[in-house]
Structure 1
Amino acid sequence: MRRPDWLVGQLPPAMLQEDFFRRFVEMFQAQADTLMAHADDLEHLADPGLAPPELLPWLASWIGLESVDGAGPPAMQREVLRTAARTLAWRGTPAGLLAMLELFSGAPAVLEDGGGVWREGESPADTAWVVMRVASTGNLTERAFADLVADEVPAHVRAELWVDDRLVWPRQSAPTTAPLSVPQPPTET
């Protein structure tokens, strides 16, 4: 913590007694106080919880997050940024998809995928699929929610997104293969 007279206090004692020198240095101290205050805040600018709302889209751009564009409420933008930064290493995995679904829907989500560990020779033919279920899309439209999900699902994975009991992605008009279903575990014989 700096003293209020940090710059003036550095004058030699003889100059401190002269009113002219004291007032002259106080002008520079007033300007320097502004610069020092900005320097003191620098370490907090990269913190999503403390950064000014205007900087949130810029911070999001550091991790390639386009959904933080300054349009939503700052509290939601901060939460999206924190969650995305925390789960970036898990992007495209079931854990990362689940975190993203729950963040944007605002409620628990269910995720079923074809991944797993099987004994040699017992793996199913198709493991590259995921079925995601949410009760609602939170503050987003179904289209915007589906677009976010589409950005998170790996390109080689077939996916379905269900909101309540409606299939919203892939859209019904898109050509699809047979509906995805959860494979049953192999039976012991």
Structure 2
Amino acid sequence: MRRSDWLVNQLPPAMLQESFFRRFVELFQAQADTVMAHADNLVHLPDPRITPPQMLPWLASWIGLESVDGAGSVELQREVLRVAARTLAWRGTPFGLRSMLELFSGGPAVIEEGGGVWREGESPIDTAWVVMRVDSTGSLTERAFAKLVADEVPAHVRAELWVGDKLIWPRPAADPSAHLALPQPPTET
């Protein structure tokens, strides 16, 4: 912790005794205190738990997270950023998808997927699919929730997102026998 007269005390002893020099340097000290206070806080800016709310969208942009845009509650933005940063290395995996789904839905998520490890020659023909199930979209609309999921699912993976008993992504095809269609970004309705 700096003393309140840190800059004035750097004057030579003879100048400290002169009122003019003390007052002159105190003007600069007042300005420098503001700059130093900001510098002291720099170390805390990347911490989503304590950074000012205005910094949250900027921090989210560092990891490519568009869902933190300043529109939701500050607490939710902080939690989204914290979970996204913690699971960034798991993005596109069942663990990462489950973490993201549970965060936004507010409940448990079930992931069924075709990935795995097989002995040579024993792998199934089709392994690039995932079915995600949640009970709710939390505070998001179905479209916004589906958009978040679309950003998390790897591009080559066919996917379905179910909320309760309703398929919300991709939109149900005209052919009721169609299953695990190629994912497309959600469209306006």
Q: TM-score, normalised by structure 1?
A: 0.89
Query: How much does 1:154 deviate?
Result: 1.1
What is the rounded CA distance, in whole Å, between the counterparts of 2:71 and 2:124 in structure 1? 44
What is the rounded CA distance, in whole Å, between the counterparts of 1:141 and 1:155 in structure 2? 23
Ranges in structure 1 where 5+ consecutive residues have no aligned partner = 181-189
Query: How much does 1:173 deviate?
Result: 4.0
Query: How much does 1:122 deviate?
Result: 2.7
Q: Counterpart of 2:74?
A: 74
What is the rounded CA distance, in whole Å, between the counterparts of 1:61 and 1:51 in structure 2? 15
Query: For residue 71 of structure 1, what is the amino acid of its counterpart?
Result: A
Query: How much does 1:128 deviate?
Result: 0.9
Q: Counterpart of 1:94?
A: 94
Count matched residues.
Answer: 180
Q: Counterpart of 1:154?
A: 154
Q: Counterpart of 1:57?
A: 57
Q: Counterpart of 2:114?
A: 114
Identity of aligned residues (%): 79
Ranges in structure 2 where 5+ consecutive residues have no aligned partner = 181-189
What is the rounded CA distance, in whole Å, between the counterparts of 1:83 and 1:144 in structure 2? 18
What secondary structure sits across from 2:87 in the alignment?
helix
1:1-189 aligned at under 5 Å gives the runs: 1-173=1-173, 178-179=178-179
Query: How much does 1:174 deviate?
Result: 6.5
What secondary structure sits across from 1:110 in the alignment?
strand
Query: For residue 29 of structure 1, what is the amino acid of its counterpart?
Result: Q
Q: TM-score, normalised by structure 2?
A: 0.89
Query: How much does 1:118 deviate?
Result: 2.5
What is the rounded CA distance, in whole Å, between the counterparts of 1:17 and 1:157 in structure 2? 76
Query: How much does 1:143 deviate?
Result: 0.8
